Chains A and B, each alone.
Chain A
Amino acid sequence: MTMTQDDRPTLKIAGAIEFSPAPEGHPVDIRPHQGHFIDGMFVEGAEEGRFQTIDPATARPLATVAAATAQEIDAAVKAARKAQQGVWGRMSGAERGKFLYRIARRLQERAREFAVLETMDNGKPIRETRDVDVPLAAQHFFYYAGWADKLGYAVPGRTPHPVGVAAQVIPWNFPLLMLSWKIAPALACGNTVVLKPSETTPLSAMRFAQILQEVGLPPGVVNLVNGPGATGALLVGHEGVDKVAFTGSTGVGRHIMRTVAGTKKKLTLELGGKSAHIVYRDAALTQAVEGVIDGIFFNQGHVCCAGSRLLLEASIADEFVERLKIRMQSLRIGNPLDKNTDVGAINSAAQLQRIQHYMDIAEQEGAGIWQGAACPAPSEGFFHLPTLLTGVQQSDTVVREEIFGPVLTVLTFRTPEEAVAKANDSEYGLAAGVWTEKTAKLFGTAHALNAGVVWANGYNLFDPASPFGGVRHSGFGREGGIAGLWPYLEAR
C-alpha cells in the first residue's frame, strides 16, 4: 500500500483545536457465551463450531457464539410456523402493531446500551450508532407498527395476507438497523421470522431478543440463529420457509437466487453497489464536499449504497479534489467509542485485507493514491485511512467493483449526458447522488439515473418512510415505505 503525501496541501486549522479523549465511559456487560433465540427461549447451542466475535478496534474477543445446527434451524423454522399459524397470523393488525410499538419504545429506552454494544462489536463510531443506527432502528419499528392495521391501503385493489415464515439473513455493516429493516415489516404484515445475524456482529441481535422477552412477544414470532454463511444457506434452503430476504454481497445473493429457483418462496435481495456521485460545476460546492465525504466515509465506507464513484464536472475537478483533501484531513480516525471519532474500525481482518487487496490493484492500475486524516490510525485493531484514487479509468477494477471501504475513486465528465452515461455504466444500480443548484438539471439527472435511490443535493439519508433497494445486480425488492410492505404480503 502506498501513501503519497507530496502534494498534500497544508491545512491551516489542523491542530489549532486539540481534542481531549471523550470515550463512552460505561461499557455494557456482554455474556461470554452466546447461543440462539428459538421459540422465545435463549438456547446455549452446540459447542462444535463455536466461534468468536471480536472488537475490531482492538482485535480482542468479546464473546463466543454458537453455530446453529441443522436441528436448531429446523426447530426455529417450526417454532416460527407454529407461531404464525397459531398466534401471530390470527392476531388483529392493531394488536400486532402494539407489540411493534412496544419494541420501538424499549429500543429508545435502552438506546445508549445498544449504541455502545453495536460500536464494540462492529467498530463503527459511537456517534453513528448513537445518532443513526439505534434511533433509526427504533423508528423503523415505530413506523411499521402503524401499518399493521392499515395493510389494505398498501395493495390497491387486492386483499393482503401474510406470506408465512420469513428467513432473513443480514450483514455486519448495520447489524441492528438491518435487523429492524427485516423484522419490522415482516411482523407488521403478520409473518413470523427466523433471522440470522452476521457472524462478525451477532451481539446487538441477541440483546434485541431480550427486548422481545420483555415486551411479551409470543414465542416463535421472532427466532434468531447464529452462525456463518453455511448456517444462512441451511436457513434459506429450509423447505418450511415461505419468504427469503437477504442483504449482503451480490455473490451470495446470486447463490441464494439459484437455491430459491423452482420453489414457491418469495425472494428479495438487497445487494452490492458502486454508486455514482455526480457534482456539477453549479453545485453548492461547500455542501457538496460534505455530501461526498458523508457518501464515502460514513461507516468507514461499509455501506452498500456508498457514493464510491465520484464524477466531477471537469472544470471544477482540481479545485474540488483539493477541497476534499482538506476536509479529509480533519476526519478523526481512531477509537470508535470516542465521541469525537469520525472514522472507526474496519469490521474484520478479512474485510481489511479485501480493501488492501483493492489498494494493490489500484496501484497496479496506475491510480494516484492519496490518504489523509486528522490523526494517525491506531496501531492495534483494524483501521484504514480515508483514501482518494485519482487518475482512474471507467474500465478500472477499482471503479467497477465494490470495495466496501473508505476508498473513493474520482472521474470527470463534461456534459450531463456524459455524467449520466458514466454513472449508469455499471452492473450495479443501488444508489446515486447528484449536486447542482439548477432545478431542471437536478430532476433530469436524478430521473435518468438507473438506480433505486437517488439523493439530490444530499447523500446517505435513510428513513423508514422511504423505500430503499436497487436495480440490476444490486438486487430487487424494497425496504422502507409502502413498497417495503409488498415483499411481505400475499396480495390476492
Chain B
Amino acid sequence: MSRLGIHKTLKMYVGGSFIRSESGRVIAHHSTAGDVMYVPRASRKDLRNTLEIARKAQPGWGGRTPYNKGQILYRIAEMLEDRAGAFPAPKAQVTTAVDRAVHHAGWSDKIVAVLSSINPVSSGHVNYAHLRPVGVVMVLPSAQDGLLGLVEAICAPLLMGNSVIVMVPTELSEVAGALSEVLAVSDVPAGVVNLLMGDVPSVMDTADLLDDLDTLVVGPGTLSPERLTASEQAAARTMRRVIRAPSAEAPTDAMGLGRLAEVQTVWMASGGPGVTSGGGGY
C-alpha cells in the first residue's frame, strides 16, 4: 500500500517567521504538482506589520560590513543550490537563480567603490560622495521572471543595505514559499527580507497610504498603467522613490543598483584656504 504524502501549508515569510495572513483569507491556486493550494492573502494589517518589522531590521543590516553582507548573499546561493533538486521549479531555473545570487554577492563590497567619488572641490576640504541605503524597499517582481525575478528582487536591494518586502505574484507563491525556506537558513537576519503573498493590486492600495516605505520597485506588467499611475501619484505624498524596473533577465547593473541607494556628499574640513565655512564668509 502506498504511503499518503504530506502537503505543505503555504505560508508567507515575515520577520523570520512563517505566517498565515492575519485575515485568514486565502486564494486558491494550483501547485506545480496539480494539487489545489491555498495562498495566504496579505491584508492591510499584514503589510503594516511587515513594514514596521522591515524598518526595525534595516539599520542593523545596513550597518553590517560589506564583506558580511556578501557572505550572506553567497549563503543564499549555497542553500538554493543545495535544494535545487527539490525546488518546485525546473532545475535550470534554479541554477540560473543560484548564479544570480552569486553575482550579486560579489557586488556588496564593490558597488560603493564604483559609484562613489572623491570630488575635487576648490577649497580646503576632502569632499566625497558615497552611497547610503534608501531604507525599506518594496519590490513587485514580474510573474514572467519566475524564481529568477524573486531572487533579483531580494538580492539587489539587499546588497545595497536595504530591507526588502517582496510582494509575490500568485503564480510564484509556491516557489516563493520554497525560497523563504532558503532565506530562513541563510543567516539573513529576521525581518530583513519579507515575502508577502496575495492580491497585488489590493495590497498596493494599502501600500500607497503608508508613509514609511522609502522605495517601490515595480516589475514589468505587475500593475496596470492606471494602478501604476495611482501609486506614482501617491508616492508624491512622501517623495517615495518609484522605480520602473526592467525584466530580471539581466541582473541589475551598477547604475540600477545606484537607484537603490542615496548619494550622500560629505565635506570634511582638511586645512588649506577657506576651511571653516562657506557662504558669504562673514
Contact = CB atoms under 8 A, between A and B. Distances in A.
Interface of A: 125, 127-128, 131-132, 139, 155-158, 250, 253-255, 257-258, 260-262, 269, 271, 287, 290-291, 293-295, 297-299, 303, 331, 342, 442-443, 446-447, 450-463, 465-469, 471-476, 478, 481-483, 486, 491
Interface stretch (B18-26, B94-102, B119-127, B149-157): B119-127
10 contacts: A128-B279, A158-B255, A254-B237, A262-B232, A298-B278, A303-B279, A455-B267, A461-B278, A466-B267, A482-B117
A242 B254 CA distance: 23
A419 to B, nearest CB: 16
Interface string B83-99: 00000000000000000
A483 B277 contact: no
A132 B122 CA distance: 12
Interface in B256-274: 258, 262-269
Given A269-B239, A469-B263, A476-B241, A132 B276 contact: no
B34 interface: no
A16 B221 CA distance: 73
Given A156-B255, A157-B255, A442-B268, A461 B123 contact: yes
B187 interface: no
Give the top 6 A-B pairs by smallest Cβ distance, nearest first. Answer: A262-B229, A298-B279, A461-B278, A261-B232, A257-B236, A460-B279
B253 A157 contact: yes
Given A261-B232, A261-B233, A446-B266, A476 B239 contact: yes
B278 A459 contact: yes
B265 A472 contact: no
* Most A CB within 10 A of own CB, among B233, B237, B241, B263: B263
Contacts of A127: 280
Contacts of A261: 229, 232-233, 235-236
A468 B265 contact: yes
B232 A467 contact: no
Contacts of A452: 262-265
B235 A257 contact: yes
A459 B277 contact: yes
B117 A458 contact: no
A161 to B, nearest CB: 13
Interface residues of B, number: 45
B279 A459 contact: yes
Nearest to A446: B266
B114 interface: yes
A466 B276 contact: no
A342 B280 contact: yes
Contacts of A156: 114-115, 254-255
Contacts of A450: 132
* Most B CB within 10 A of own CB, among A132, A471, A482, A491: A471
* Most A CB within 10 A of own CB, among B123, B127, B238: B127
Given A156-B255, A466-B265, A483-B263, A131 B129 contact: no
Contacts of B254: 156-157
A152 to B, nearest CB: 12
Contacts of B233: 257-258, 261-262
Contact of B239 (A291, A451, A455, A473): A473
A431 to B, nearest CB: 9
Contacts of B129: 466-467, 478, 481-483
B264 A451 contact: yes
A298 B236 CA distance: 30
B210 interface: no
Nearest to A332: B282
Nearest to A475: B239
B5 interface: no
A465 B255 contact: no
Contacts of A253: 236, 239
B228 A125 contact: no
A254 B233 CA distance: 9
Contacts of A250: 239
Contacts of B114: 156
A149 B263 CA distance: 24
A443 B266 CA distance: 9
B239 A467 contact: no
Contacts of B253: 157-158
A253 B237 CA distance: 10
Given A139-B122, A157-B253, A463-B122, A456 B127 contact: no
Interface string B210-247: 00001000000000010011001101111101000000
* Most A CB within 10 A of own CB, among B214, B268, B282: B282
* Most B CB within 10 A of own CB, among A253, A257, A260, A478: A257
A342 B263 contact: no
B275 interface: yes
A447 B132 CA distance: 8
A298 B280 CA distance: 6
Contact of A290 (B236, B237, B262, B277): B277
Nearest to B122: A463
A293 B282 contact: yes
A454 B266 contact: yes
